[in-house]
Chain A
C-alpha cells in the first residue's frame, strides 16, 4: 500500500505469540494512520472497563503515511492506550527517529497485548521479531539502557525505553527515545511497564513505496524550500520552543508557583537567549526536520547532558516550582528523562505539593524532612526521585494531582491544576478563554498540543466569550491533530507559517488518494468523536463535569504579575461549554448525538 509500511504487528506479551497482518485498506481510508489507527484499535479492541494496568489494555504504537518520507518533520509516532492517569483516552506523540525506522521495517502499527511473565524487550529487524530477556536492564535508567542496547545491537537501531517510573507504576510515566525525546503524557510508559516491556529496538532496511515518485519528490522538495525561505526559520532554529518563554512571561501565561500567577519575577533568567548562551551545545532535530526545536545541553555545574529543556519543562519545572536557574531546570529535566516520568505532570505534582507545604497542609513529617518551599532546588530534585520510586510523599504524588489531592484533602483539591485528571501543561489560563476552553475540552486532559490558542486569545481579546472563539478551538482540534494522524510535525505550519495547502499534493503523491484539508478535517472530527465516546464508555457518569477546569482559573485571580486581579467568571466557563457542545453536535451534557456520530461514519463502530 503506497505510503505505508504495510503491516500491523501484533505482540501478545502473555503468550509470546507474534503475528504480522496486512494493514487493512478500509482502516487506512477511514482513519489514515498514526493517532487515527490508535483510536480505532483502542475503541474496537480494548474491552470496556479494562484495567489500564491489566492484560486487557493495549498499547498501540503507530506511524502515519508521511512518516519517514521526504516531507519536513516526518518523524512523529503516536502512542495510544487507556490511560492509568485519567482512566480515559491517552494519545501521546513522540518525535525523533522511531516512527521512520518502524516504517522501514514494514510496520504501520505495533499492538502490544497482555503482560509478560518477566521483563523483556521487543527486537524488530525487518521481518525478524522477537521478545528477548531484559532482566538485566530492569531497574536501570532510560539513557543507560538505550546506550546499552545500541552498543549491543548497533547504532542503526532506534530504541524506545521506559525507566524506573514506568516499572514502578507512576501514573504519568513516559517512554523515552533518542536520549531525550518522549511520548510524555497520559502514562503510556506506565502501561508499557505494567506489560513488563522494558524497551523496543527497531531497525528497518525496506524502502517505502509511493504512488507517484516524481510528483512526490517535487512536492516534498517544495515544502523544504518553503521552510528554508521562511522568516521564522532562523529564530526557531536558534531557540526552538523556548522562544515563547519570554512572551508567556510578558503576557501572563507562564505558570508560576502552581499556576497561582502567570508571570514570574525571576523569569528573565529562564528565557530562551539565556538558555542558548549558558547551556546549549547543539541543535538536535527529529527525522527530516529543517527547523529543529530540540536543543542539546550541557550543565557544567552538574557535569551532565540533557536534550532540552523545552518550553513546557521550563514552565513546569522552573517557574511553576519557583526555580529560576536554567541549569537547575535542565538537571530536573534530566532526572525525569532518565527515570522515565513526564516533566509536565511531575512539575504539576511538585508545584501542588509545594503549595500544600507552604499552606501547612503538608508538614515536614509528610515530606520526609524536605523543606518543600517554592524555589527549593534540592528538594525538587530529591522529590523527583521519590516520585519515580514511589517512596513516601512520592507515592502519593505518583498518582497525579487529582488523586493526590483526594488523598490529602483539606481544600487542596481546589488548587490541583488538572482537567480529567491530567495535569495542565505550561500555559496559565486565568484570562485566556480560548486556551482555557482548549484545555477543558482536549481529548486527553489538560494538554495544549491539540489546540494551541493563547496567541489567538490576545489577537481577539482574551476575555471574549463569543461563538467565533469556540469555532476556532473546534477547527484547531479537528485540524492540528491530523499531523499526528499523518505522522508528521505540525510546527512547520505553526511556527514557519508554511501554507498547509502544500501538504495536499505531497500526500496525494504518496498515497495515490487525493484528500483536501476539508476531507482531512472530517477525519479529524471522526477521531475526536470516537475518542469522546471512549471516555463515555469507560467512565460511569462521564459528562459536563469532566470538562471543567481547575477552580483556580475562575475563583482565584492572581495577586501578582501582569494578570493580577484577572479571572474568567464561572458563568462564562459554562457559556463556553454550551457553545462548544452546540457547535460540536453534542447534547448539553457533552455527549455526541446519534446524528453527529452517524454523520461522521461512526455508527457501526460505536454500536
Chain B
C-alpha cells in the first residue's frame, strides 16, 4: 500500500500538511509534514504534490535501522533511534524524507496514516496498492 497523488485535482490548500503534522508530531505545523505541495505560480499555474512511494530506499541506507516496516509493509521512522545523519534524505527519490534539526530531533517520513486523504476535499490523494 502507498499514497498516490493526482496533481490535476490538487487546489493547493495544504489541509493535508496540517493533518500530517498532527498525526506525526501531535502539532499544528505544516512545515513538519511528510508530503510537499509545490505551487507553480503565476506561470504555468499548477500544483505538484510530492508523496512517499514506500520504495524503501531510505531504510536501506539508515545506519541505525531506525527506518522500519510495519506488518503491512509501511516504512516508518522510529524517532528514538534516529541519529539525524541525513543519509535517508539524500537518497529519497521524491524529496519527501525530512531531516530538519531546527524543527525536530528525528528524521520523519510518511507513515501512511491516511489523515491527509481524509481531509482532502478534492480527492487528490488516495491510498492503494
- Chain A residues engaging chain B, CB cutoff 8 angstroms: 68-70, 72, 75, 97, 100, 104, 143, 147, 155-156, 178-179, 205-208, 210, 213, 217, 221, 224-225, 227-228, 233, 237, 281-292, 294, 296, 298, 305
Contacts and interface: CB of A to CB of B under 8 A. Distances in A.
Q: Which 8 interchain pairs have the tightest Cβ spacing?
A: A290-B121, A285-B13, A285-B11, A207-B27, A292-B11, A207-B29, A283-B11, A208-B28
Interface of B: 8, 11-15, 18-19, 21-22, 25-32, 38-39, 41-47, 102-103, 115, 118-122
B14 A205 contact: no
The residue among B39, B42, B115, B121 with the most chain A CB atoms within 10 A of its own CB is B121
Nearest to B119: A224
A292 B28 contact: no
A289 B45 contact: no
Nearest to B46: A282
A237 B14 contact: no
A472 B29 CA distance: 39
Contacts of A210: 28
A289 B11 contact: yes
26 contacts: A68-B28, A69-B18, A70-B15, A70-B22, A70-B119, A72-B15, A75-B13, A100-B14, A104-B29, A205-B31, A205-B102, A208-B29, A210-B28, A224-B119, A282-B45, A282-B46, A283-B122, A284-B11, A285-B121, A285-B122, A288-B18, A290-B121, A290-B122, A292-B121, A298-B45, A305-B45
Contacts of A225: 118
B45 A296 contact: yes
Contacts of A289: 11, 13, 15, 121
A305 B12 contact: no
B5 to A, nearest CB: 14
B122 to A, nearest CB: 6
Contacts of B15: 70, 72, 224, 287-290
B29 A291 contact: no
A579 B115 CA distance: 50
Contacts of B11: 282-285, 289, 292, 294
Contact of A290 (B12, B13, B28): B13
A237 B11 CA distance: 10
Nearest to A75: B13
Contact of A221 (B25, B26, B32, B118): B118
A224 B38 CA distance: 23
A69 B18 CA distance: 7
A298 to B, nearest CB: 7
Nearest to B41: A179
Contacts of B31: 104, 156, 205
A287 B13 contact: yes
B121 A227 contact: yes
Contacts of A179: 41-42
B14 A97 contact: yes
Given A69-B18, A70-B19, A305-B43, A286 B121 contact: no
Contacts of A213: 22, 26
B54 to A, nearest CB: 24
B17 to A, nearest CB: 9
Nearest to A289: B13
The residue among A208, A288, A294 with the most chain B CB atoms within 10 A of its own CB is A288
A70 B47 contact: no
B28 A207 contact: yes
A155 B119 contact: no
A447 B102 CA distance: 44
Nearest to B8: A282
Contacts of B39: 155
Contacts of B18: 68-70, 288
Given A68-B28, A155-B39, A290-B15, 8 more contacts: A70-B28, A156-B31, A205-B31, A213-B26, A285-B122, A289-B15, A289-B121, A290-B121
